[in-house]
């Protein structure tokens, strides 16, 4: 058994295709670290000029209206005066805090600012969210901004109570761990899962080239398959090596961050009074749960490939089946579809690992049932069924792994 493991292990890591995948992933990581990460420009950034311009404009208006007779002006002027009187002192405090360099105080007042601004802006025609949300002709810009503002409230609330040192990098989510968090909510899970698919795609098929050597191993077929699964899993852990190097470089550039930073979770109740509530979760928990779910996906993909390999014996079929599973969500995913369909019962709905944990996916689908535990159960169940089928087939006496 051990010698077979060593044999498979050596074959896996000397396979030119696999080395190419590791190499390309490393290359993509460096491209990201040096080229894309520095151009990251969040919409909700700490921008002194913007706050100042808004503050001065409104203050001038207030000064102008001071002491005037308001009896025959348009009601919206009175409305504006009321609102500006509330929000302007907050903007002033934000500016003062930035001037003093007191980031804790800035976090404290910024939380109030986001909360108040959101409450006057959402579904209100008189005010509008930051124009950057609308640049890409986004139909759902208002919803996205609503989500972002409330998330910022929770973030800044945690910062204001933080016992670690704050920095502008932390506020704008530029630190290494926060970059990893953003990537997990984006395209990274899909890239990694596709890499695992490509790594394991020929793990059974390659045996055809070494028939005589393999027949020398006195191990039953199902044990061989399990060893192959283990090797592929170890190989997929290897995918994290270039990523960790990349994260380390980003850490040197803009700070590492820490595991106690906030990573808010959307509370998906469909009750309109508590619509858009966020709860606090620390970054450590987010990363832990994301990695568990991601790793479960690795197991599922590897087992699906193994099952397909022993049934169809064609790399192309493995590839197509794997891609269908990975991109299956795209066939039904669209905004708010979860309100009408039970998307939570399809394992494919859980491919966007980071968005599942932070429940942004729930907001996107408008569905309250998608969550970590259900996803884990579904995926593990799927993996269990596939492993069971695989062993059942390979225990069949007429079946031979190597023909």
Partner 1 sequence: MLRALKVGLVIERANRKNLVVLVAVVIIVFGFMFYINAQAIGNQIVEKKGDYYSAQVILSKFQVKDALETGDGSDLYKNLVKQKSHIALQIAALTMDKQSMYYETSLQLAELRQEAFELEGYENVAELLPSKLQNSMDYLYFKRMIDEGKDTISDLFQYMPFLLFFFVHIGAGWYIFISFHTSSILLDDFEHASIIQGFPVRFDYYILSKCIIAFLSIVTSILLIFICAIPLWIINGLGNPLEPVGIYVGKATLISTSQYIAMSVGYMMVISIFVMLLSIILNVLLKNMYLTLFVHFILFFLPMIFPSLISLIPYNPFNFMNFNDILRGFPLDLAKPVDITMSLGLIMICISIILMLFVIKTFFTTGKISRA
Binding string, 93-132, against partner 1, x = CB under 8 A? -------------------------------------xxx
Segment interacting with partner 1 (CB under 8 A) among 15-23, 184-192, 215-223, 276-284: 15-23
Residues 97, 103 contacting (CB under 8 angstroms): yes
**Minimal distance, residue 167 CB to partner 1, in Å:** 23
User: Site for partner 1 (CB under 8 A): which residue of 134, 259, 295, 346?
Assistant: 134
Phi, psi of 167 (to 5 degrees): -150, 165
**Minimal distance, residue 41 CB to partner 1, in Å:** 8
**Minimal distance, residue 184 CB to partner 1, in Å:** 23
User: Site for partner 1 (CB under 8 A): which residue of 70, 77, 126, 135?
Assistant: 135
User: Site for partner 1 (CB under 8 A): which residue of 50, 100, 102, 342?
Assistant: 50
Taking the least distance from each CB to partner 1, the nearer of 1 and 53 is 53
**Minimal distance, residue 135 CB to partner 1, in Å:** 4
330 scored as a contact of partner 1 (CB under 8 A): no
**Minimal distance, residue 137 CB to partner 1, in Å:** 5
Task: Please count the residues of this chain forming the interface with partner 1, following the rule CB under 8 A.
Answer: 26
Cα(37)–Cα(33) distance, integer angstroms? 5
53 scored as a contact of partner 1 (CB under 8 A): yes
**Minimal distance, residue 53 CB to partner 1, in Å:** 5
User: Site for partner 1 (CB under 8 A): which residue of 2, 49, 75, 334?
Assistant: 49
20 scored as a contact of partner 1 (CB under 8 A): yes
56 scored as a contact of partner 1 (CB under 8 A): yes
140 scored as a contact of partner 1 (CB under 8 A): no
Taking the least distance from each CB to partner 1, the nearer of 46 and 214 is 46
Closest CA to 9 of 229, 320, 277: 229
Residues found near partner 1 in the complex (CB under 8 A):
16-17, 19-20, 23, 27, 30-31, 34-35, 47, 49-50, 52-54, 56-57, 60, 130-132, 134-137
């Amino acid at each position: 058994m051990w010698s077979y493991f060593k044999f498979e292990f050596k074959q896996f890591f000397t396979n030119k295709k696999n080395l190419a995948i590791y190499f390309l992933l490393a290359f993509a990581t460096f491209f990201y670290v040096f080229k894309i990460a520095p151009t990251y420009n969040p919409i909700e950034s700490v921008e002194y000029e913007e706050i100042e311009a808004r503050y001065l404009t409104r203050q001038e208006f207030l000064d102008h209206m001071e002491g005037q007779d308001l009896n025959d002006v348009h009601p919206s002027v009175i409305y504006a005066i009321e609102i500006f009187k509330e929000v302007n002192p907050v903007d002033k405090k934000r500016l003062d805090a930035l001037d003093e360099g007191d980031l804790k105080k800035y976090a404290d007042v910024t939380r109030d600012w986001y909360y108040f601004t959101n409450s006057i802006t959402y579904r209100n025609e008189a005010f509008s969210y930051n124009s950057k949300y609308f640049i890409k002709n986004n139909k759902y810009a208002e919803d996205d901004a609503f989500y972002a503002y409330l998330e910022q409230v929770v973030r800044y609330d945690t910062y204001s109570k933080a016992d670690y040192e704050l920095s502008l990098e932390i506020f704008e989510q530029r630190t290494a761990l926060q970059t990893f968090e953003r990537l997990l909510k984006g395209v990274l899970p899909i890239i990694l899962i596709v890499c695992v698919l490509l790594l394991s795609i020929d793990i059974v098929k390659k045996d055809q080239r070494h028939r005589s050597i393999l027949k020398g191993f006195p191990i039953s077929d199902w044990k061989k398959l399990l060893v192959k699964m283990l090797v592929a899993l170890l190989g997929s852990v290897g995918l994290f090596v270039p990523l960790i190097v990349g994260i380390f470089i980003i850490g040197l550039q803009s700070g590492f961050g820490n595991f106690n930073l906030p990573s808010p979770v959307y509370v998906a109740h469909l009750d309109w009074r508590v619509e858009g509530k966020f709860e606090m979760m620390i970054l450590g928990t987010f990363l832990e749960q994301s990695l568990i779910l991601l790793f479960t996906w690795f197991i599922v993909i590897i087992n699906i490939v193994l099952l397909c390999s022993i049934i169809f014996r064609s790399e192309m079929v493995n590839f197509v089946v794997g891609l269908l599973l990975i991109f299956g969500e795209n066939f039904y995913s669209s905004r708010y579809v979860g309100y009408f369909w039970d998307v939570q019962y399809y394992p494919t709905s859980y491919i966007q690992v980071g968005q599942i944990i932070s429940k942004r996916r729930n907001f996107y689908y408008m569905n309250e049932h998608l969550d970590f535990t259900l996803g884990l159960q579904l995926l593990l169940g799927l993996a269990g069924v596939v492993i069971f089928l695989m062993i059942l087939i390979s225990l069949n006496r007429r079946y031979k792994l190597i023909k």
